[in-house]
Amino acid sequence: MPTPTYIPLQTITLGSSASSVTFASIPQTYRDLVCALSVATTTGQGVKFQYNGETATANYSRVFMFGTGSSTSSGSSSGDANAQKLIQTKTSISTAVVQIMDYSATDKHKTILARSGPADDIVFAEAQRWASTSAITSFTILSESVLNANTTISLYGIEA
Amino acid sequence: MSLVPWGIWASSGGAVAAFSYDLLATETLTDNTSTEVEFLSSGVWSDYEHLQIRMTPRLIWGYPDDGGNVAVYLNDTTSTYYSHYLRGNGSAVSSATETGPFFNRVPYNNGTTEFGAIVLDILDINSTNKNTTMRALGGSSLSYSNWINLQSAAWFTTSQVTSIQIQSRLGTLGSGSRFSLYGLRGA
């Protein structure tokens, strides 16, 4: 029997600039989360996702690739303070879709997939791991600079 | 009228339109013996325009290399398939063609908590005048399996899609691997 899903959980639109946005008390009735962002930051840097307030640097790692229109590059990193950058942003508007897989599972590390990029700059894709078997009950979106006003972030739940 | 966030117009006074994105099936493996997970339409998929598979797989095989991936076949494994990938490994980006519907690099047996992830779209599944195409974003950030993949594939057949076989290309699919199938309705 088909089960309707991709359920909107919350949308946040910033009325003024902010350094972070938190989605708290995320229901555990879904298997995956999808987060859609339309975001600009005060400097052309990036945005991190921090899960359950976890600041242990060893638990975050990432691998990414991007294209600039004239060249491509790939890198990876781990151990950054608070979390790893997940989305590339710029002062112009960036769009991103983030897939947080198995967020409610308690027997798996979490894999997060993201595609992002300011269209007038680069195209960017990343896989990230949060090395914890804890279910994600909250996450905070941290700007490496400041999230501009009118940034919009929507969260959806997907059953499995 | 209000615009429901997943893209369907609903009348405030009349019948509400059907949801556009439905969970059809999920298979989570409980042992390490399977080489394939199969989804069958049984007529249900004719209600949908596109399918999406969200999976978190891992492979069981002994060789300490990272060449394993999953193959996603539509109806049969003998037709002509091609796929292309754009792949980053943490130090360089590469691209190539493969003569099969092969997706991602999937973590091999290194721990029961470590999985890859793939979100795969299969488009126009009921068309009988077009070849069927797929696209996927996948990856894993692990010391022994460090990949980000953007991929497309084509099944050079115009038949309606009625079954999907997800296979391990090396070894078996590991316990805890999860495969969820969703249908997206057309207007």
Residue at token pair 């022994």: B144
In a domain, A7, yes or no: no
Contact B163, B74 (CB under 8 A): yes
- Ranking A52-56, B36-40, B177-181 by mean pLDDT, the lowest is A52-56
Alpha helices (H) in chain A, listed in sequence order: none
| Contact between chains at B117 and A4 (C-beta distance less than 8 A) | no
Pick from B73, B34, B70: nearest CA to B165: B73
**A 78-107 near B (Cβ less than 8 A):** 78, 99, 101-102, 107
Q: Among A11, A62, A72, whose Cβ lies nearest the Cβ of B141?
A: A62
Say what the pTM is.
Answer: 0.93
Q: How far is CA A38 from CA A87, A88, A115, B2, in A?
A: 11, 12, 12, 22
Residue A3 lies in a domain: no
Q: Which range of residues forms the domain containing residue A128?
A: 29-158
The answer on pLDDT for B109 being more than 90 is no
Mean predicted confidence (pLDDT) in B77-82: 93
Is A21 domain-assigned? Answer: no
pLDDT at B18: 64
Per-residue pLDDT, B17 = 56
Q: Establish if A70 belongs to a structural domain.
A: yes
Would residue A79 count as lying in a domain? yes
Q: Quick check: is A93 in a domain?
A: yes
Other C-beta atoms closer than 10 Å to the C-beta of A77 total 14
Question: pLDDT-based confidence at B67, cuts 50/70/90?
Answer: low
Domain annotation covers residue A96: yes
CA A42 to chain centre: 18
Q: CA of B27: which chain A residue's CA is closest? A: A160
Which pLDDT band holds residue B169 (cuts at 50, 70, 90)? confident
pLDDT at residue number B107: 86
CA separation for the pair A15, A13 (Å, rounded): 6
Number of domains in chain A: 1
pLDDT over 70 at B71, yes or no: yes
Q: Evaluate whether residue A19 is within a structural domain.
A: no
Low-confidence stretches of chain A (pLDDT < 70) are 44
Q: Which of B4-8, B64-68, B170-174 has the highest mean pLDDT?
A: B170-174
